Amino acid sequence: MPKVSFTRALERFLAAPMVEVEGATVSEALAQVFARAPALRGYVLDDQGAVRRHVSIYINDQPLADRQRLTDPVEPRDEIFVLQALSGG
C-alpha cells in the first residue's frame, strides 16, 4: 500500500502522521487520508480539489504532474510526500 507522509511543520497545527492507504492514484490515496483526517484536506487542496499553490506533492522523488485532478498513478511500494512549497526572493 502506498505511504503518505506530511511535512513536520504541519504538526504544529494538525496531527498528520504517516499512513499507509490503498489507491491507484494520488487522488484515491489522499481521499483515504482525508476520510481519516478531514481537516488535512483544506491544507492540501483548494475548494476545486486542486493542490494549493503553497503545497508540493512528490511521488517518491518525482513532483506530482497533475496538480488539478491528482491522477498520477501510484504503486503499492510508492511514497507520497506532501509538503509546503517554498517561495520568495
Domains recognised in the chain with CATH numbers: 3-84 (3.10.20.30)
Residue 55's closest CA among 16, 26, 82, 27? 82
pLDDT at 32: 96
- pLDDT tens for each residue of the chain, 89 residues long: 999 999 888 777 888 889 999 999 999 999 999 999 999 999 999 999 999 999 999 999 999 999 999 999 999 999 999 998 766 65
pLDDT at 8: 85
pLDDT at 82: 95
pLDDT at 88: 61
Cα–Cα distances in angstroms (integers) from residue 53 to residues 35, 43, 46, 86, in the given order: 22, 11, 9, 10
pLDDT at 86: 66
